Amino acid sequence: MNPNIILIGFMGCGKSTLGRRLAGRLGHEFLDSDDIITAKTGKSIAQIFSDEGETHFRELETEALRGLAAARGIVLATGGGAVLREENRTLLKNLGKVVWLHADPDTLFERASRSGRRPLLEVENPRSSFNSLLESRLPVYRATANLELDATGLSHEQVLEKLLRALDGWTAEIPAPQI
């Protein structure tokens, strides 16, 4: 099995939190695609969206993923929209096992709203925008993932244990479980 684990999912699903914990347990390096972008540009994601727009941000995201093609022994947390581009989906699948972390919409919205760093929610009706974005992305997450993990109602530790159990002994020959 490729030692890389890629976490995808909508904003607020816990990719970064779970990714750090998972990396620690596996002895992997933790990377966050948004952090790679901010380190390279010297700008926050919100600044990039504001100054240069979402399209430019998506280009930076693809560039960051291309730069990880040879990486080994990583857990990567991606931005919620990383799967929107076909090239990114291919890059992610080639990089490692792709895990879709999700939860119910109310939980996701509450978590995403707490951060205050979500440019896509800085609109007149954030919940409506959130619901539309989530609905449009669900099929893409499902099609990209090797594994689906529903974290609704679970603590971070419970999610981590659930994922570790699913990953234990998982090989390319075994169809991806939905947990």
Domains of the chain (ranges plus CATH)?
5-167 (3.40.50.300)
pTM of the model: 0.87
pLDDT band at 110 (very low <50, low <70, confident <90, very high): confident
pLDDT in tens, 11-52: 888 899 999 999 999 999 999 999 999 999 999 988 998 899
Under DSSP, is residue 134 helix (H, G, I), strand (E, B) or coil?
helix
For the chain, strand residue ranges (E) read: 5-8, 29-32, 74-77, 97-102, 147-150
Are 150 and 103 in contact by the 8 Å Cβ rule? The answer is yes
What phi and psi values does residue 35 have, to the nearest 5 degrees?
Answer: -65, -35
Residue 44 exposed, middle or buried by CB count within 10 Å (0-12, 13-18, 19+): middle
Token digits for 43? 């700008």
The average pLDDT across 81-106 equals: 95
Are 45 and 34 in contact by the 8 Å Cβ rule? The answer is yes
Any bridge partners for residue 100, and if so which? 8, 148
